[in-house]
Chains A and B, each alone.
Chain A
């Protein structure tokens, strides 16, 4: 149980185009999902918190107009990287939160590798 999927797993796009990444909780409902970014050989950095039915909360330094987040249902959150540039190339990972064993636990997706040419 507690499986989180991401699609696509890997995407290559041209500079200036937009890319949408989906995050789905497959066997549970998640009122809260989180988006992280991980550059090569670095740690995961929280980008934003996505709550179903409300606007996402962005971390300091993350441009909300560039990284559009939509949490359309209790099992789906999408991250759209608008007008992507080479510096946006990174590993984007989502997590979904659920109540397990008397506490909230985050389960991570497998990640999406974005390469902007």
Chain B
């Protein structure tokens, strides 16, 4: 199946630093989503983006839906230890029969060094 191009694959940062990750696709999506997954658990929705150009914040998280509808980025400001985990972008298309299943990126593994 298709996967989105997500980068970076992993990040080693110091606590308090800002984080930025992005996803690109060769095709258009109607919706872009960002999830966080902790080991052995299901993904938890962080931010959902529904309009091209949309910029949305959720606390220290900010995400944008690219104008071309083929990309998105997620920023985390002032990282804290609980931000550790794997972050996935996901794209969703809406067809005549309703919303489709999600296409995920390969994930960004965030590691915070004390």
- Give A residues with C-beta under 8 Å from B: 4, 6, 32, 34, 36, 42-46, 49, 59-61, 91, 93, 95, 97, 103-111, 113
Contact of B42 among A42, A45, A59, A93 (CB under 8 A): A93
Question: By the criterion CB–CB under 8 Å, are B40 and A45 in contact?
Answer: no
Assign chain B's interface to a size class: 20 to 34
Question: By the criterion CB–CB under 8 Å, are B45 and A44 in contact?
Answer: no
Beyond A34-B101, A34-B102, A106-B102, whether A44 also contacts B43 by CB under 8 A is yes
In the assembled complex, B104 has its CB within 8 A of some CB on chain A: yes
* A71 smallest CB distance to B (angstroms): 14
Question: By the criterion CB–CB under 8 Å, are B41 and A46 in contact?
Answer: no
The residues of B that contact A104 with a CB separation of less than 8 Å are: 94, 98-99
Question: By the criterion CB–CB under 8 Å, are A108 and B1 in contact?
Answer: no
Question: By the criterion CB–CB under 8 Å, are B50 and A103 in contact?
Answer: yes
Question: By the criterion CB–CB under 8 Å, are A32 and B98 in contact?
Answer: yes
In the assembled complex, B100 has its CB within 8 A of some CB on chain A: yes
- Give B residues with C-beta under 8 Å from A: 1, 3, 31, 33, 35, 40-45, 48, 50, 88, 92, 94, 98-107
Beyond A44-B43, A103-B50, A105-B48, whether A32 also contacts B99 by CB under 8 A is yes
Question: By the criterion CB–CB under 8 Å, are B103 and A107 in contact?
Answer: no
Residue in chain B with minimal CB distance to A93: B42
Question: By the criterion CB–CB under 8 Å, are A43 and B107 in contact?
Answer: yes
* B90 smallest CB distance to A (angstroms): 8
Q: Complex: how many Å from CA A32 to CA B100?
A: 9
28 intermolecular pairs with C-beta atoms under 8 Å apart: A6-B42, A36-B102, A42-B106, A43-B88, A44-B88, A45-B1, A45-B104, A46-B1, A46-B102, A46-B103, A59-B101, A60-B1, A61-B1, A91-B40, A93-B42, A93-B43, A95-B102, A97-B99, A103-B31, A103-B48, A104-B99, A105-B45, A105-B48, A106-B33, A106-B102, A107-B45, A108-B42, A108-B44
